[in-house]
């Protein structure tokens, strides 16, 4: 594949088109500054040796989600995993569907409507593994709770608008990605923000805005750049990355404290301009015009065992991969090889990560060359392009 096409495809794959949800105002005057002091500096430069996905993973499982009239998915916004079950939030279909680890459809959670226990315009979904509950924010006004079995439990007033919703034992975590506007001369945008909310006192909110941009009210429809895996969990914290920044943050699960954990330093080889100040297409053109430079940290994943992220240089996507348990560190041009495209959406355990692909073309023509590492190949023969997305489970 042409390297320019590869870069363009990879960048545009992070673009998610969304209509802006209804504006809500959260009264908070305690915006907390963040500092890079004490963060671990990771020095990056252009790598030489190609790092192949087939060399990183021990196995990959291909799991087509069962497609029936009842289980058909329009557009996945969120996929959560717990206790052998995938919970899929279909944003366009306004529904929550359950699939087991084999991809078999196990039913829907709740129903759309205006009655008790029903939702009208769900915007965010998360799960609470400790209490085995599904949490759904409806119309940015209500928080609905359901059991894993789909039983309606409660509804409370809850005004919130965000892009990502995570739940810990003590906190609700809301993340809003950087908005990019394509309108010429339109400079106002909804900037990146992280909010940590006490579950027992939802008036207690800590706000973090770690990019030097102001927040603006949500107005017309917008396009924002969203990473496939915004928050990745380990046993004691979440790792968070804001698009177009070179800082990687951690959120303490028990205290909700936020700090800059890593600073990615590209040194003299790094981009001279601030990508965060650019529109998406402008940033793409800048990257293509500066192939001798490196930068744009993205695709950050951290668990107890693994830590890796991607960046660009020499027209190629590069990867920094650190197996914390073995001490093995790799860096260089990244070749998906098993797949044409890869995407991480969640974590099953410290060495197992999952994502989804919308059609078979992302799997690659040479997939069958890796029979020893790929499970479920025989299931692809009956999959059509109009069928549900395909889950991919990566075990490292």
Check: CATH 2.120.10.30 for 3-22+31-395? yes
The confidence score (pLDDT) of residue 225 equals: 60
Residue 378: phi and psi, rounded to 5, are -65, -20
pLDDT over 80 (residue 186): no
Q: What are the Cα distances from residue 56, in Å, to 120, 123, 126, 252, 333?
A: 43, 35, 29, 28, 13
Which pLDDT tens digit goes with each residue over 278-294? 766 777 788 889 888 89
The confidence score (pLDDT) of residue 2 equals: 52
Q: Is 285 helix (H, G, I), strand (E, B) or coil?
A: helix
The confidence score (pLDDT) of residue 23 equals: 33
pLDDT band at 306 (very low <50, low <70, confident <90, very high): very high
Asked if 238 contacts 255 with a C-beta cutoff of 8 angstroms, the reply is: no
pLDDT over 60 (residue 19): no
The confidence score (pLDDT) of residue 191 equals: 55
**Number of residues written out for the chain:** 396
The confidence score (pLDDT) of residue 333 equals: 92
Q: Look up residue 40 and give its two tokens.
A: 């671990």
The DSSP code sequence of 12-71 is HTTEEEEPPPPP-------PBP---TTPEEEE-----S-EEHHHH-SEEEEEEPP--TTT
Q: Is 280 helix (H, G, I), strand (E, B) or coil?
A: helix
In sequence order, the 6+-apart residues with CB closer than 8 A to the CB of 297 are 241, 245, 246, 248, 264, 309, 310, 311
The confidence score (pLDDT) of residue 29 equals: 40
pLDDT band at 16 (very low <50, low <70, confident <90, very high): very low
Domain ranges, ordered by start, for the chain: 3-22+31-395
Which pLDDT tens digit goes with each residue over 344-387? 889 999 999 999 988 777 777 777 788 789 998 888 888 888 89
Which pLDDT tens digit goes with each residue over 130-181? 999 999 999 888 999 999 999 999 999 988 878 888 999 999 998 877 655 4
The confidence score (pLDDT) of residue 220 equals: 39
Q: What are the Cα distances from residue 142, in Å, to 184, 246, 255?
A: 36, 35, 25
Q: Look up residue 333 and give its two tokens.
A: 């041009």
In sequence order, the 6+-apart residues with CB closer than 8 A to the CB of 109 are 87, 95, 96, 97, 98, 134, 146, 150
Strand order, beta sheet including 179-180: 15-18, 222-225, 179-180
Which range, 13-17, 70-74, 115-119, has the best average confidence (pLDDT)? 70-74
pLDDT over 70 (residue 222): no
| Beta pairing partners, 147 | 133
Q: Look up residue 94 and give its two tokens.
A: 């306004």
């Amino acid at each position: 594949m042409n390297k320019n096409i590869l870069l363009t495809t990879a960048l545009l794959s992070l673009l998610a088109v969304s209509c802006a949800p209804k504006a809500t105002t959260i009264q908070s005057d305690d915006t907390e500054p963040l500092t890079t002091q004490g963060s671990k500096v990771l020095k990056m430069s252009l790598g030489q040796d190609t790092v192949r996905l087939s060399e990183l993973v021990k196995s990959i499982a291909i799991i087509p989600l069962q497609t029936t009239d009842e289980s058909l998915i329009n557009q996945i916004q969120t996929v959560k995993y717990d206790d052998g079950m995938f919970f899929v939030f279909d944003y366009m279909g306004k529904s929550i569907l359950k699939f087991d680890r084999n991809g078999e459809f196990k039913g829907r959670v709740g129903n759309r409507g205006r009655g008790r226990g029903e939702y009208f315009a769900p915007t965010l979904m998360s799960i609470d593994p400790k209490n085995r509950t599904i949490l759904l924010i409806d119309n940015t006004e209500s928080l609905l709770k359901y059991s894993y079995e789909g039983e309606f439990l409660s509804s409370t007033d809850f005004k919130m608008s965000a892009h990502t919703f995570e739940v810990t034992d003590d906190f609700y975590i809301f993340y809003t990605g950087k908005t990019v506007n394509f309108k010429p001369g339109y400079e106002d945008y909804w900037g990146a923000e992280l909010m940590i909310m006490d579950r027992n006192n939802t008036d207690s909110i800590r706000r973090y805005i770690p990019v030097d941009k102001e927040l603006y009210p949500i107005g017309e429809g917008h396009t924002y750049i969203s990473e496939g895996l915004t928050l990745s969990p380990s046993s004691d914290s979440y790792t968070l990355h804001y698009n177009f920044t070179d800082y990687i943050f951690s959120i303490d699960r028990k205290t909700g404290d936020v700090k800059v954990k890593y600073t990615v330093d590209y040194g003299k080889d790094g981009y001279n301009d601030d990508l965060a100040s650019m529109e998406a297409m402008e940033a793409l053109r800048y990257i293509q015009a500066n192939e001798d430079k490196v930068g744009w940290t993205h695709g950050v994943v951290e668990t107890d065992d693994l830590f890796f992220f991607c960046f660009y240089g020499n027209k190629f996507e590069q990867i920094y991969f650190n197996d914390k348990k073995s001490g093995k560190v790799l860096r260089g041009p990244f070749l998906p090889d098993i797949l044409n495209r890869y995407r991480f959406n969640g974590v099953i355990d410290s060495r197992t990560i999952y994502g989804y692909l919308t059609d078979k073309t992302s799997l690659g023509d040479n997939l069958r060359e890796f029979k020893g590492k790929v499970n479920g190949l025989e299931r692809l023969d009956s999959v059509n392009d109009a069928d549900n997305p395909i889950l991919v489970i990566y075990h490292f």
